Chain A
């Protein structure tokens, strides 16, 4: 009899949790349920757990329980106040070695990807980057189900499913917003286990001298409810003014396809797609975007997609719930007018 542990890294900075952490807890719960039957038959137990690092972050540990963690391993140290690669990966490796989780998921954020590669290498185990699909599947030659991690490769043109047969934990970094948020249960109970990992002086040698906050760049498209995105069909950078106006009317934010960002029409923070952000707003409006695969993989999980393109054969229409074939410079003003009229009617 053994314990099969499904682990999640809880990412926090300045006491703010990156929501992908909760999405990961949702995935871990599902993965755990996928092996419950075989574990039960073998007399094994299955656990959904997470690891949290920081300085005075016990409140976050309690939140994690409400999102589905049975147990939170907490390393709470002043040295861990700000994320730094070396002390973070060494602490995590220490705790992973102690409990030997079977699966370990980390958000594919800048912080998570910086961390995951270091943790996996230190543990000499397999890591699949930037996954968009995860399941525990039966694999020939393996008694237990294995983590089947699916990810886009070659700019989203190909999906590859990767597995890690022997080494443990089976690690994946997971794209934010690909998976839904799990239910929040304020009554949930769980355990917080404090861990201590000794650090050398050398581990904390790299220092952060300064944080620079760039206001102009602080657009959060990942978690926006409404996104209006523009593509090459806008013709010029000025075309984004119209996009912005519609986004403003809808209380949303502005997205963009890669060619617009590459051309310098708008900053990278707005880029939707495989090489930008994955989004899943309630409403996604794509204007003048042809729909390259690399864009589609980043937005096809949106609840409702409206595409506007003058080319009736544009691939963007394949993922749209509704497509409008027409000139965006006519369609968007009509949309703005329509929304304004609706708001007046509501007022």
Chain B
């Protein structure tokens, strides 16, 4: 039996985030919350392999009670069980404290019900750090395969996984022993439409909530703000560069507009240096 664990995060749809120019605070109102897209693809891959091998998919997510909808969404997409790791003491966690909590939970699930593959999205679109997956792998001493684009094979008898991972230079085919941790690109699997029974089940699904007290597995020193070595020093909007001149080609004609623009590039020594290198 295959047991996959998928770590998922709820994120604001980042295309809609802005800063209030008056207060300098993040404006979150009216910004839709979604399952981190990379996590959705990682989950889809886990569910595909569950259907191939037989077994189950467990999801975990760390966040406030509002993350329940994201766990329900995971159930809709084929997860069998979900845990919401939620405690005010976890608030303000940076990636180090987050990997601590996730690793402790994954370890405790693994002790009761051994896990073969831990799936993460390659990164979350709000923080874009790509640090929590590797952090959890290090804490659990699991082999890690990042930027996975295809799982070629999961062999439960031989206890190994074969994955294609894409780097900037090439695609690597990596074989690692199980259990292993994989962080996924979107290509790993298509997010399917939910089958009706899963959809119905998800509507009423209540994830088990894990807190400091209910689990007793966390050291208060390592969670939340206390467990986070980094702090935000300041936040702001990116500085605005100085805008250059605008030429209207409808007024002066296209060829004149191009000639004027290129003359400016010439004056900056750009075009001659560029064309000097072209044969």
Contact in complex: A127, B241 (CB < 8 Å):
no
Contact status A322-B265, CB under 8 Å = yes
Q: Could you say which of A42-50, A68-76, A153-161 contacts chain B? A: A153-161
Could you tell me the dominant secondary structure of chain B's interface residues? mixed
A296 to B237, CA, bound (A): 13
Cβ–Cβ contact B171 & A304, under 8 A? no
**Is B14 in contact with A155, judged by CB distance below 8 angstroms?**
yes
Per-residue interface assignment for chain A, residues 296 to 339, with 1 indicating a CB less than 8 Å from any chain B CB and 0 otherwise: 11001001111000001000011111111111001100110111
Contact (Cβ within 8 A) A127 B18: no
Question: How many residue pairs at the A-B interface have CB separations less than 8 Å?
Answer: 270
Interface centre among A125, A214, A296, A322 (most CB of B within 10 A): A322
Query: Digit string of A156-187 for contact with B (CB within 8 Å is 1, else 0)?
Result: 11111111111100000000000000000000
Most chain A CB within a 10 A radius of its CB, from B164, B229, B240, B257: B229
Chain A residues positioned under 8 Å from B249 (CB to CB): 324-327, 330-331
Q: Is the CB of B278 within 8 A of A343?
A: yes
- Name which of B51-59, B82-90, B126-134, B201-209 contacts chain A: B126-134
Q: How far is the CB of A327 from chain B (nearest CB, A)?
A: 8
Closest to A129 in B: B129
Q: Is B275 an interface residue when CB atoms closer than 8 A count as contact?
A: yes
CB pair A338–B278 under 8 Å, yes or no, is: no
Q: Which of B95-139 contact A (CB under 8 A)?
A: 95-96, 99, 125-135, 137-139
Contact B176 A274, beta carbon cutoff 8 Å: no
Q: Mark B254-279, 1 if CB is under 8 A from A, else 0.
A: 11011111101100101101110110
A293 at the interface (CB under 8 A from B): yes
Q: Is the CB of B131 within 8 A of A116?
A: yes
- Nearest-neighbour CB distance to chain A for B278, whole angstroms, equals 4
Bound: A127/B166 CA distance, A: 23
Residue of A124, A128, A326, A337 ringed by the most chain B CB atoms within 10 A: A326
Whether A79 is near chain B, meaning CB under 8 Å from some CB there, is no
Q: Interface residues of A, CB < 8 Å — how many? A: 91
Enumerate chain A residues within 8 angstroms of B254, measured Cβ to Cβ: 326, 330-331, 334
Instruction: Report yes or no: B134 in contact with A121, Cβ–Cβ below 8 A.
Output: yes
A297 to B14, CA, bound (A): 15
**Residues of chain A contacted by B241 (CB below 8 angstroms):** 300, 318-319
Docked pose: A138 CA to B36 CA in angstroms: 36
With A166-B229, A283-B270, A304-B265 in contact, is A205–B143 under 8 Å at CB?
yes
Also in contact, A156 and B238, with CB within 8 A (given A116-B131, A162-B231, A330-B249): yes
Whether a CB of chain A sits under 8 angstroms from the CB of B146 is yes
Decide if A109 is an interface residue (CB 8 Å cutoff): yes
Distance of A294 Cα from B19 Cα, bound (Å): 15
Contact of B235 among A125, A161, A207, A249 (CB under 8 A): A161
Known: A120-B96, A163-B230. 9 other contacts (CB 8 A): A111-B168, A125-B96, A127-B230, A162-B230, A162-B231, A282-B270, A303-B270, A324-B246, A334-B257
Q: Which residues of A contact B (CB under 8 A)?
A: 13, 85-86, 89, 109-111, 113-114, 116-118, 120-122, 124-130, 139, 148, 152-167, 205-214, 225-226, 249-252, 274-275, 282-283, 292-293, 296-297, 300, 303-306, 312, 317-327, 330-331, 334-335, 337-339, 342-343, 346
Q: Please list the 10 inter-chain residue pairs (A to B) with the smallest Cβ-Cβ separation, ordered nearest first.
A: A326-B249, A117-B134, A126-B229, A251-B278, A126-B230, A117-B131, A121-B135, A155-B14, A129-B129, A167-B229
